[in-house]
Amino acid sequence: MNQLGLRFSDRAEAGRQLGNRLAGMGLDSPVVYALPRGGVPVAVEVARALNAPLDLIFVRKIGAPGSPEVALGAIVDGENPQIVVNEEIQRRSRAGADYLEKARARELHELERRRSRYLGERAQVSAKGKTAVIVDDGLATGATMKAALIAMQQQGAKKVCIAVPVAPAEVAIEFQKLADEVVCLNPAQQFFGVGAFFDDFHQLSDEETIGLLREGWSENDNEQLSPGFSSRQVAVPPLGLSGEIIVPPDPRGLVIFAHGSGSSRLSPRNKAVANTLNTRGFATLLFDLLTPDEAQDRRNVFDIPLLADRIVETVLYASGEPDIADLPIGLFGSSTGAGASLVAAAELKDRIGAVVSRGGRPDLAGEKLNNVTAPTLLIVGGDDHHVITLNRQALSALTCEKLLKIVPNAGHLFEEAGALEMVTELACNWFQHHLTVPETAVHPEPEFHLKSSEDIAKVLRKKVISLPEPEDPSFAEAFDRFGTARVVLLGEASHGTSEFYRARAAITNRLIDKHGFNLIAVEADWPDAAAIDRYIRHKPGRPMRSPPFSRFPTWMWRNREVDDFIACLRRRNSGISPENQVKFTGLDIYSMHTSIGAVLDYLDRVDPTAAAEARQRYACFDPWSHELASYGRASLSRGYALCEAPVMRTLLDLLQGELQYAAQDGDDFFDAVQNARLVANSERYYRVMYYGSHESWNLRDSHMFKTLKQSLDHAGPNAKAVVWAHNSHIGDARFTDMGTARGELNIGQLCRAEFGDDAVLIGFSTNTGTVAAASEWDAPMEIKSVRHSRSDSYEAICHQVGVPRFLLNLGNDLDSSLRTALSEPRLERYIGVIYRPETERWSHYSHASLPDQYDAFVWFDETCAVTPIPTRVSAGEDETYPFGL
């Protein structure tokens, strides 16, 4: 039985229900404002129902001096950006006018950056004299919505209406006192977070958000283009097929879209791809392949000769338009439009520079495939099994330059989180590479068709950057090219290799010193890393039930390599103001009991009454205190989550007490909240691990990603992070067996979706040497010999390069023949805390596509094991040294 009340399949369905409710209220001159990103799909549907203009409203919190977790106020964008200040917090924090002005300037810059990212030069819609309908996908505490509401009132809105699918009942009641109208479809008596009320509550990417906004604006026909862009509606002769041409300044090429259903002009997916192509300098032409009458007859959708003729006619028409006549032309085909595009490309030959098929039927081009000369990229969803087979058949028939890319976990329509973004990136890169006008008549050297690992290694030998030992200053200088990123993720092929730790330390120090990175986030438990953070930042130590990193596998972090790095961080932070110090944080999920203790210790100090309540709630775990895995078994056998409600209630109480608690010490409050979040997620982790699916892995890496984001937010708007984690976590899972075969995601994939080009994923590996590892879980550490890599692996190719240490940049400057050769899936070795050489193929190798998995790759041909630090603890030293030695 559903105890949560009304649920929604996704945000769009919630928006449609909200729109129906609002449409019957007779709102005067409504303007719909979405809180991005989650509010956008809801608001698009609301704006459609109200036939109202759609805009965004951005809110940025202003933290109190020395306690950024405490909301001193917020700045809300608009024609005249508004600051909303909590006067009580201002008085208690003694934040003066100078502090507020500096914070305003800083956050306003971030607001402008975000508005530019989402809206370009699109003018803001004024709320003055209008009914402002502010939409989000739900409310938790309502702090952001409250700031938006006050700002709209200050901007002269005639009325302000709050519209959300779900909120805690008490929060909905509170807003009824503040707003003119409140529409909440489900004022929930039991509230465990907004996401609990949706079947699909995936995290929206920037690209998906922009595509939804573009769709909403185009329906109102009010879209305004960036300066220098031109847009016009056209009628393609001889039938007058409807189309739209968008031309950016100094276009580099033209991409014509062909959708088999005849609706290419209106397809939101095609529009999303076209929008990105426009921003990258390509003109686009979206048109309807069929007339409205023709589209009524389903047989026309499969009439490939008819559709191909329409594409040829459109190419000839474009050749007569002065602003696009001389541009190289690419074709983007979907569904049966893909087959038609290839038939047209075969007929037009050199007039077509490249073809991309999205979820298409290239096989329908039949024997014409042999005549296609344009480089062709076929993109198919990993779950679209029948279409994958058809595309592979077409690939074998094509004789031009060709490539098949499979988007993991995606269906035919690429509706899954991140799927359309991946399609867009693949298509844009293909057109960028192939739709170029040669600047000179000099012909490039012919590309090699790289087949064998020896051929690939020979070419790689000329491409890699040879590296010295990690201690040499020039080692880390090679990584300056990644210094502009927001997040740099540094991997490792094992948890017990000295060179990986020393290399990551050298790179991290360089990124801190030269590029402003100020946060180190590691694959370790939050409480253990927090002890290190206090040590390197010269803060008082705290009593702990056990020294940091004293549980299996102790050597992963209690080793001399990490010890040296921590000592370096402590020296760097000496004499530096707290806000400028480098921070050290843990991302992992395994420290439930330690985190419970940290939450209780915190509440004992700041709120003994709340501590007693939390202690009673956490007592739910007492029967399983010695083996948390058994909690999962018990929950599974009894059919419900035994401790979910108590741990969530403790977390919500902490969050709702933010103003009271964080005012005393913002860092301590943040630490307590993160520990409470860890307990809540860990409770779920131990439950879902017994379902035997990918859910436990995905929950763990999602927790790690959210912890990284929360730590970045806590560190300030200019924070930049270095992440240390295993290759299996930081290499994009969509391009490995993890994603394609097991449905797993990881922090690298999530960072790419969130930060785009501002996330850099760097893998590490080796051929042979020694490694610190165990033979079984909880078994003693051993120094084991690492077998030479298999001949069918990426490691074998790297070994054949013959360079002891090197960096391989896998970015856009990697030439197409080498990228194609390396993209062919091969085995890649993963050694964790357990190493079983006798079953190495099945225990430690998995297929991957290296250039898609990482942005760069670091190679050490021979490596040695880390030097572990003994775990024996000397009395009284916990507060003077992080490992208590």
The mean pLDDT value for 93-102 works out to 81
The mean pLDDT value for 406-434 works out to 84
- SS3 assignment, position 665: coil
Q: What pLDDT shows up at residue 79?
A: 65
Q: What pLDDT shows up at residue 556?
A: 95
pLDDT band at 353 (very low <50, low <70, confident <90, very high): very high
d(CA 351, CA 3): 61
d(CA 782, CA 762): 27
- pLDDT for 312-327, tens place per residue? 999 999 988 888 988 9
Q: Is the pLDDT of residue 401 over 50?
A: yes
The mean pLDDT value for 628-652 works out to 59
Residue labelled with tokens 């509170």: 174
Q: Name which residue leads in pLDDT, 606 or 845.
A: 845
Residue labelled with tokens 């032309």: 329
Cα 738 to Cα 272, 314, 487, 707, 730: the distances in Å are: 28, 42, 22, 22, 12
Q: What pLDDT shows up at residue 441?
A: 37
Q: Name which residue leads in pLDDT, 610 or 808.
A: 808
Give the 3-state secondary structure percentages of the chain, helix then strand then coil, rounded to 5: 45, 20, 35
The mean pLDDT value for 135-150 works out to 85
Tokens of 657: 């007490």
pTM here is: 0.57
- pLDDT for 16-35, tens place per residue? 999 999 999 999 999 999 99
Phi first, then psi, for residue 32 (nearest 5°) are -95, 125
Q: What pLDDT shows up at residue 542?
A: 77
Q: What pLDDT shows up at residue 749?
A: 94
Q: Which residues of 454-482 are buried (b: 16+ CB within 10 A; e: fewer)?
A: ebbbebbeeebeebeebeeeebbebbeeb
- pLDDT for 703-727, tens place per residue? 899 999 989 988 888 899 999 999 9
Task: Count Cα atoms within 13 angstroms, Cβ side, for 112.
Answer: 9
Task: Tell me the H-state helices in 537-643.
Answer: 560-573, 592-606, 608-618, 629-638
- 8 Å CB contact between 736 and 745: no
Q: Is the pLDDT of residue 639 over 60?
A: no
- pLDDT for 827-857, tens place per residue? 999 999 999 998 898 889 999 999 999 999 9
Q: What percentage of residues in the chain have a pLDDT greater than 70?
A: 85
154: amino acid identity, one letter: Q
- Mean pLDDT score of the chain: 84
The mean pLDDT value for 571-579 works out to 92
Q: Is the pLDDT of residue 884 over 50?
A: no
Q: What pLDDT shows up at residue 446?
A: 42
- pLDDT for 789-829, tens place per residue? 999 999 999 999 999 999 999 987 788 888 888 988 899 99
Q: What pLDDT shows up at residue 472?
A: 95
Q: What pLDDT shows up at residue 74?
A: 80
Q: Is the pLDDT of residue 244 over 50?
A: yes
Q: Name which residue leads in pLDDT, 587 or 297.
A: 587
Q: Is the pLDDT of residue 221 over 70?
A: no
d(CA 4, CA 138): 14
pLDDT band at 131 (very low <50, low <70, confident <90, very high): very high
Q: Is the pLDDT of residue 202 over 80?
A: no
Long-range contacts, 418-424 (Cβ 8 Å, 24+): 418/205, 418/734, 418/749, 418/753, 419/381, 420/207, 420/208, 420/211, 420/269, 420/272, 420/273, 421/205, 421/207, 421/208, 421/753, 422/734, 423/269, 423/273, 423/358, 423/379, 424/207, 424/272, 424/273, 424/276
- pLDDT for 185-201, tens place per residue? 999 888 767 888 888 88
d(CA 467, CA 742): 36
Q: What pLDDT shows up at residue 266?
A: 63
Q: What pLDDT shows up at residue 229?
A: 86
Least confident segment among 133-147, 769-783, 802-816: 133-147
pLDDT band at 678 (very low <50, low <70, confident <90, very high): confident
Nearest alpha-carbon partner for 358 in 401, 386, 387, 383 = 387
Q: What pLDDT shows up at residue 265?
A: 64
- pLDDT for 36-71, tens place per residue? 888 999 999 999 999 899 999 988 878 777 666 566
- SS3 assignment, position 656: helix
Q: Is the pLDDT of residue 242 over 90?
A: no
Q: What percentage of residues in the chain have a pLDDT greater than 90?
A: 45
Q: What pLDDT shows up at residue 449?
A: 56
Least confident segment among 112-121, 407-416, 485-494: 112-121
Q: What pLDDT shows up at residue 657?
A: 63
Q: What pLDDT shows up at residue 875?
A: 34
Least confident segment among 89-93, 382-386, 582-586: 89-93
Q: What pLDDT shows up at residue 610?
A: 79
Q: Is the pLDDT of residue 357 over 90?
A: yes
Q: Is the pLDDT of residue 373 over 70?
A: yes
pLDDT band at 671 (very low <50, low <70, confident <90, very high): confident
- pLDDT for 685-697, tens place per residue? 766 655 545 677 8
- 8 Å CB contact between 485 and 760: yes
> What is the DSSP code (8-state) at residue 815?
-
d(CA 829, CA 795): 8
The mean pLDDT value for 558-586 works out to 95
Q: What pLDDT shows up at residue 626?
A: 57
Q: What pLDDT shows up at residue 656?
A: 59
d(CA 741, CA 45): 35
Query: Which residues touch 315 (CB under 8 Å, ≥6 apart)?
Result: 256, 329, 344, 348, 351, 352
Q: What pLDDT shows up at residue 674?
A: 82
Q: Name which residue leads in pLDDT, 104 or 187.
A: 187
pLDDT band at 881 (very low <50, low <70, confident <90, very high): very low
The mean pLDDT value for 245-256 works out to 93
pLDDT band at 262 (very low <50, low <70, confident <90, very high): very low
Phi first, then psi, for residue 276 (nearest 5°) are -65, -40
Q: What pLDDT shows up at residue 69?
A: 54
Instruction: Give the chain's domains with CATH numbers.
Output: 11-206 (3.40.50.2020), 225-434 (3.40.50.1820), 451-497+723-865 (3.40.1660.10)
d(CA 721, CA 485): 9
Q: What pLDDT shows up at residue 638?
A: 47
Q: What pLDDT shows up at residue 155?
A: 83
pLDDT band at 440 (very low <50, low <70, confident <90, very high): very low
Q: Name which residue leads in pLDDT, 415 or 498.
A: 498
The mean pLDDT value for 82-87 works out to 76
- pLDDT for 732-755, tens place per residue? 998 998 887 777 899 999 999 889
